[in-house]
């Protein structure tokens, strides 16, 4: 009888994930609103930083509330066909808006664009972009802010390509079409389609619609930031976990290979192992790291020293940016202590055993939020990624909470157990 009572409580508690969804929804909106400071749309630093702190509190609270719950996930039920038609129309609107903005905004005033354009050009000529140098497009005063000591020599930035090889390969189609930023427009579109494919209902459409119509996303695309690729690979990972699990190690490996900071997701991969076993978790981690390594090893064989310099040493030498939306601006001590809350949260996430895809997204997004908000550089592109990941997690929890068959199945099993 005690087991029946405990099991009944677990099943019926899964209905309460709507509160978790609301907390994560609030966190995601707060992050995206706060990012308006670093994009130049809001000038009140204290207000925006307060929104980031609020988002961190909400997301940690949401995870703490739902970490131990084991509610069942109902089979996905597709909504009316008109929802797909609406999504297709929104994709068209997004593409038209993005292409117009990228014709008006040339992109040559930011090194993210020029570095990717020139690196792809170098690679297509058959030369290794890693370990090379790039033209410095900034003035000496700007260069002292943007680059570390000795990183600019004779008008050349001492870096070839500061992103992982997967980003280089992803930028090629856009370059061939005339603008590398087109690749990130495609990444956003694919992300929206994957979000709707995972949750083919009204909440899923709302998530995809917000991603496509969000002005922060259009701004990120126009600056040629690579976070849309990271979000797309995360969506592909969650889709594989929900629909085609045999491809999960490949999806996770490609996700890890899109950006250096994605290693922070490793403690939360246990959320994708159901039922959780340490052996299964370690197998997923090992297989995923092998796939990620496979995307890097050919370039390491080509020029290991240049690859190490561009992917690691260049970033370590980057200076602290006083214009960041970071807690380290008013509290510089966090530059030294910042890794402590990140490591603590990651260890806590591994220890409490978070389960379900939504928990993976929530844990990863919150860990990134703690990492960026206490780091030396925190700008719109990072908070765009965090906000979208938290909203994705919110939709996942809302789907669980709002599915009638979950509650019905729970009550049937409760009756049988009693």
Strands (E), 142-256: 152-153, 156-157
Q: Return d(Cα 196, Cα 209) in angstroms, integer.
A: 9
- The more confident residue out of 397 and 344 is 344
Q: What is the mean pLDDT of residues 116-122?
A: 96
Beta carbons within 8 Å of 67's beta carbon, 6+ residues apart: 352, 353, 354, 359
26-71 residue pLDDT tens: 999 999 988 876 655 556 888 889 999 999 999 999 888 876 555 5
The one-character DSSP state at 330 is T
Residue 415 has pLDDT above 80, yes or no: no
Lowest mean pLDDT among 121-130, 134-143, 264-273, 346-355: 346-355
Lowest mean pLDDT among 81-85, 186-190, 379-383: 81-85
CB 369 within 8 A of CB 31: yes
Q: Return d(Cα 38, Cα 25) in angstroms, integer.
A: 21
Q: What is the mean pLDDT of residues 92-117?
A: 92
CB 370 within 8 A of CB 317: no
CB 170 within 8 A of CB 183: yes
- The more confident residue out of 18 and 46 is 46
Q: What is the mean pLDDT of residues 264-275?
A: 88
Sequence-distant contacts of 117-126: CB under 8 A, at least 24 apart: 117/175, 117/180, 119/160, 119/161, 119/168, 119/171, 120/168, 120/171, 120/172, 120/175, 120/180, 121/175, 122/160, 123/168, 123/172, 124/172, 124/175
Residue 253's closest CA among 277, 208, 283? 283
Residue 384 has pLDDT above 60, yes or no: yes
The burial class, CB within 10 Å (0-12 / 13-18 / 19+), for 216 is: buried
The string of DSSP letters for 174-194 reads HHHTT-TTHHHHHHHHHHHHH
CB 369 within 8 A of CB 288: no
The one-character DSSP state at 75 is P
What does the domain layout of the chain look like in residue ranges? 2-417
- pLDDT band for 149, please (50, 70, 90 cuts): confident
Residue 237's closest CA among 60, 358, 351, 371? 358
Residue 183's closest CA among 259, 120, 263, 126? 120
Say whether pTM exceeds 0.75.
yes
Q: Return d(Cα 240, Cα 234) in angstroms, integer.
A: 10
Is the bond preceding 275 in cis, omega lying within 30 degrees of 0?
yes
CA 304 to chain centre: 27
Our CA angle for 106, 147, 367, nearest 5°, is 90
- pLDDT band for 398, please (50, 70, 90 cuts): confident
Q: Which residues of 237-255 are buried (b: 16+ CB within 10 A; e: fewer)?
A: bbbbbbeeeeebbbbbbbb
Lowest mean pLDDT among 6-15, 121-130, 212-221, 313-322: 6-15
Q: Return d(Cα 392, Cα 369) in angstroms, integer.
A: 15
CB 55 within 8 A of CB 31: yes
The one-character DSSP state at 135 is E
End-to-end C-alpha distance for the chain, whole angstroms: 7
- The more confident residue out of 163 and 203 is 163
pLDDT of residue 67: 67
- pLDDT band for 402, please (50, 70, 90 cuts): very low
Beta carbons within 8 Å of 411's beta carbon, 6+ residues apart: 12
338-355 residue pLDDT tens: 889 888 888 887 776 656
Lowest mean pLDDT among 23-27, 275-279, 405-409: 405-409
Beta carbons within 8 Å of 192's beta carbon, 6+ residues apart: 87, 90, 91, 94, 208, 209, 211, 212
Average pLDDT, the chain: 86
């Amino acid at each position: 009888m005690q087991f029946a009572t405990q099991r009944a409580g677990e099943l019926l508690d899964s209905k309460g994930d709507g509160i978790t969804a609301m907390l994560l929804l609030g966190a995601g909106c707060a992050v995206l609103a706060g990012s308006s400071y670093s994009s130049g749309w809001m000038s009140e630093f204290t207000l925006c930083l307060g929104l980031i702190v609020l988002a961190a509190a909400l997301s940690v609270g949401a995870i703490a509330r739902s970490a131990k719950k084991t509610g069942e996930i109902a089979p996905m039920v597709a909504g009316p066909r008109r929802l797909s038609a609406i999504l297709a129309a929104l994709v068209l609107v997004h593409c038209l808006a993005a292409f117009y903005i990228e014709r008006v905004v040339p992109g040559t005033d930011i090194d993210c664009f020029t570095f990717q354009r020139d690196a792809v050009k170098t690679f297509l000529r058959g030369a290794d972009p890693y370990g090379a140098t790039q033209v410095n497009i900034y003035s000496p005063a700007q260069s002292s802010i943007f680059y570390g000591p000795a990183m600019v020599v004779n008008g050349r930035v001492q870096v070839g390509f500061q992103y992982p090889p997967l980003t280089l390969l992803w930028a090629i189609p856009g370059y061939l079409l005339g603008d590398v930023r087109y690749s990130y427009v495609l990444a956003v579109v694919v992300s929206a389609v994957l979000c709707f494919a995972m949750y083919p209902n009204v909440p899923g459409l709302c998530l995809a619609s917000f991603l496509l119509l969000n002005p922060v996303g259009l701004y990120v695309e126009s600056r040629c930031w690579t976070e849309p690729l990271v979000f797309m690979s995360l969506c592909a990972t969650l889709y594989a976990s929900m629909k085609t699990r045999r491809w999960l190690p490949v999806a996770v490996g490609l996700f890890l290979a899109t950006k250096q900071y994605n290693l922070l997701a490793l403690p939360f991969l246990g959320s994708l192992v159901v039922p959780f076993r340490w052996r299964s978790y370690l197998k997923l981690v090992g297989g995923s790291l092998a796939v990620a390594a496979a995307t890097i090893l050919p370039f390491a064989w080509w020029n290991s020293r240049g690859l190490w310099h561009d992917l690691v040493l260049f970033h370590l030498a980057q200076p602290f940016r006083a214009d960041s939306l970071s807690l380290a601006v008013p509290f510089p001590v966090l530059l030294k202590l910042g890794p402590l809350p990140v490591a603590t949260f990651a260890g806590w996430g591994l220890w409490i055993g978070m389960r379900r895809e939504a928990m993976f997204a929530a844990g990863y997004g919150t860990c990134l939020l703690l990492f960026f908000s206490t780091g030396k550089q925190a700008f719109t592109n990072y908070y765009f990624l965090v906000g979208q990941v938290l909203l994705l997690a919110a939709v996942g929890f809302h789907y669980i909470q709002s599915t009638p068959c979950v509650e019905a199945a729970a009550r049937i099993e409760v009756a049988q157990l009693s």
